A = this chain, B = another copy of it.
Amino acid sequence: MFQSNKQDVAERHRDNPLITPADVKPSRDDLEVIGAFNPGVFEYQGRIGLLLRVAERPHQEPGYISTITVHPDSNQLEVKRFHGTDPYLDTTDPRVIQHRGFLYLTSISHLRLAWSDDGEHFQIEPTPAVFPEGVYETYGVEDARVTEIDGTYHITYSAVSDHEVAVSLATTKDWQHYQRHGPILQPFNKDVCLFAAEDRSKYWMIHRPSGVMWKRNWMWISESPDLAHWGRPRCLAQTRMEAFDSARLGAGGPPLPTNKGHLEIYHGADEGHRYCLGAMLLDQADPYTITARSPKPLMEPIAPYEQKGFFGNVVFTDGGILRDDHIWMYYAASDTVTCLARIPLRKVWKHLEI
8 A Cβ contacts from A182-213 to B: 182-189, 207, 209-213
- Which of B184, B209, B226, B231 is close to A187, meaning CB atoms less than 8 Å apart? B209
Partner of A216, one of B187, B189, B222: B187
- CB within 8 A of A163: which of B166, B184, B187, B216? B216
Inter-chain contact B103/A185, CB cutoff 8 Å: no
Nearest CB in chain B: distance from A109 CB, A: 15
B211, A164: Cβ atoms under 8 Å?
yes
Of A183, A187, A209, most B-chain CB atoms within 10 Å: A187
Residues of B within 8 A of A224 (CB): 229
Within 8 A of B (CB), among A162-184: 162-166, 182-184
Q: A188 and B186: CB pair below 8 A? A: no
Q: How far is the CB of A239 from chain B (nearest CB, A)?
A: 11
Say how many copies of this protein the assembly contains: 2
Asked if residues B186 and A222 are in contact (CB atoms below 8 Å), the reply is yes
Chain A: interface residue total (CB-CB under 8 A): 40
> Which residues of chain A from 231 to 250 have a CB within 8 Å of any chain B CB?
231-235
Please state if B214 and A164 are interface contacts (CB–CB under 8 Å). Answer: yes
Q: Which of B212, B213, B231 contacts A229 (CB under 8 A)?
A: B231
A211 and B165 alpha carbons, distance in the complex (Å): 8
Residue A225 interfacial (CB < 8 Å): yes
Q: Are A213 and B103 in contact (CB under 8 A)?
A: yes
Chain B's closest residue to A216 (CB) is B164
| Least CB separation from A223: chain B residue | B229
Give bound CA distance, A216 to B162, whole Å. Answer: 8
CA of A183 to CA of B236, assembled, Å:
13
CB of A230 within 8 A of CB of B231, answer yes
Alpha-carbon gap, A302 to B216, bound state (A): 37
Complex CA gap A192/B163 in Å reads: 18
Docked pose: A136 CA to B231 CA in angstroms: 16
Q: Is A330's CB within 8 Å of the partner chain B?
A: no
User: Is there an interface contact between B186 and A207, defined as CB atoms closer than 8 Å?
Assistant: yes
Q: Identify the closest chain B residue to A238 (Cβ).
A: B163
- Tell me if B234 and A182 are in contact (CB < 8 A): yes
Q: How far is the CA of A53 from the CA of B225 in the complex (A)?
A: 34
* A285 in the interface (beta carbon within 8 A): no
Whether A183 lies near B233 (C-beta < 8 A) is yes
**6 chain-A/chain-B pairs, Cβ below 8 angstroms:** A136-B235, A187-B211, A188-B211, A224-B229, A225-B229, A229-B229
Additional A-B contacts beyond A186-B209, A229-B231 (5; CB < 8 A): A164-B213, A188-B209, A188-B210, A212-B215, A228-B232
